[in-house]
Structure 1
Amino acid sequence: MAIEIGRPFPDFALPNQDGKVRKLKDFAGKWLVVYVYPKDDTPGCTIQGRSFTATKEAFSNANIEVIGLSEDDVSSHKHFCDKFSFTIDLLADPKHELLGATGTGRSEWKGTMYWDRTTYVVDPGGVLRKVYEKVDPKGHEVMVLEDIKKLQ
């Protein structure tokens, strides 16, 4: 079941592309964008990673951290980040710990199940404030930044 707006975001401890474990408490006092994407090095996911990297400074200036999340492993994330010079963290969740805890949906494409492109906005107190489901990666980062600024 999907996590409800107004409820605490699930606690997590997952490695990023460099193997450094990131936890929810690492982001205390900041807004947090957790964007779930289906698979490293695919067209839509590349657009999303590039877009959030290109706007990282604007997010940082608004006290917002952005992290990507998929079931791909650390080495896949490292390759993906290096290939496209991403400066955002991508968290590896191959056991579906956070993906399952958030209730992120799944869809089938060409016979394979993928996690739905979903974005979660968490406030500085760790409470879920907004969810975007079945996201179109083009221009999504602009909408997210504008929406968080309205919530701040």
Structure 2
Amino acid sequence: MPIPQTGDRAPDFQLQDQNGNDVKLSQFRGKNVVLYFYPKDDTPGCTREACDFRDEHSALQSAGAVVLGVSPDTTKSHQKFATKFSLPFPLLADTERQVCDAYGVWGEKSLYGRKFQGVTRATFVIDTEGKVARVWPKVKVQGHVREILQTLKGGAPTPGAEEPAPKKTAKKAAPAKKAEPRRK
């Protein structure tokens, strides 16, 4: 399925969290939801991302948001991951990949020339009415949670502004090297 875009109604779902509790997206109406999809528990990039969400969790809550992580791992795997890194938010087990499919994040990936099916790291901010307010279709972990916080604090961006254009920064010119005389 295609990735839901800004203004679309966020597909509702019900999954179990790491403690076996049923979690429905619709139960968070009235709050902003940061719904992030990640490939696998306890792997380097996913751990870094989860720990960034953990470290900024109180700021995210202060901004009126609930954080939900989703991957195809089992509730048991999620429980070990959440315990190991003291993650204070639900990790949802999408073992059948129905939610990953509904959000368009399951598909062909490539790593070291090998093609396989997996989850594309993506984040959706869902507004208080259950609509997609912002989409990051291919997340780069570094600085991502700060971007989400800026979005939450600054309000919803204009529709169609899915991914901010990279800021162009003037590079400092490197000092000119003295030409060495050519040897014959």
Does the CA-based 8 Å contact 1:108-1:114 persist in structure 2? no
* Deviation (angstroms), 1:113: 2.4
More helix by share: 1
Q: Give the corresponding residue for 1:128.
A: 132
Q: Give the corresponding residue for 1:149.
A: 153
Identity of aligned residues (%): 36
Relative to structure 2, which stretch is displaced further, 117-126 or 141-150? 141-150
Q: Does 1:46 align with 2:50?
A: no
User: For structure 2, which runs of at least 5 residues remain unmatched after alignment?
Assistant: 157-184
Structure 1 residues 10-55: Cα deviation after superposition (integer angstroms, max 9, x where no partner): 0110001101010012211000000100100100000011010111
Q: Give the corresponding residue for 2:56.
A: 55
Does the CA-based 8 Å contact 1:71-1:94 persist in structure 2? yes
Does the CA-based 8 Å contact 1:93-1:99 persist in structure 2? yes
Q: Give the corresponding residue for 1:19.
A: 20
Q: Distance in 2 between matches of 1:112 and 1:77?
A: 22
* Cα RMSD for the two superposed structures: 1.2
Letter in 2 for 1:119: T
Does the CA-based 8 Å contact 2:40-2:72 persist in structure 1? yes
Q: Give the corresponding residue for 1:35.
A: 36
Relative to structure 2, which stretch is displaced further, 135-144 or 38-47? 135-144
Of 101, 108, 121, the match for 1:117: 121
TM-score by length of 1: 0.95
* Deviation (angstroms), 1:9: 0.3
Q: Give the corresponding residue for 2:110.
A: 108
Structure 1 residues 93-143: Cα deviation after superposition (integer angstroms, max 9, x where no partner): 011111111111531324432211000010000000111022111221011
Q: Which runs of 4+ in 1 moved over 3 A?
A: none
Q: Distance in 2 between matches of 1:4 and 1:57?
A: 27
Structure showing greater Rg: 2
Q: Distance in 1 between matches of 2:106 and 2:6?
A: 16
Query: Which SS does the other structure have where 1:9 is aligned?
Result: coil
User: For structure 1, which runs of at least 5 residues remain unmatched after alignment?
Assistant: none
Q: Distance in 1 between matches of 2:54 and 2:35?
A: 14
Greater relative CO (CA pairs within 8 A, separation 6+): 1
TM-score by length of 2: 0.79
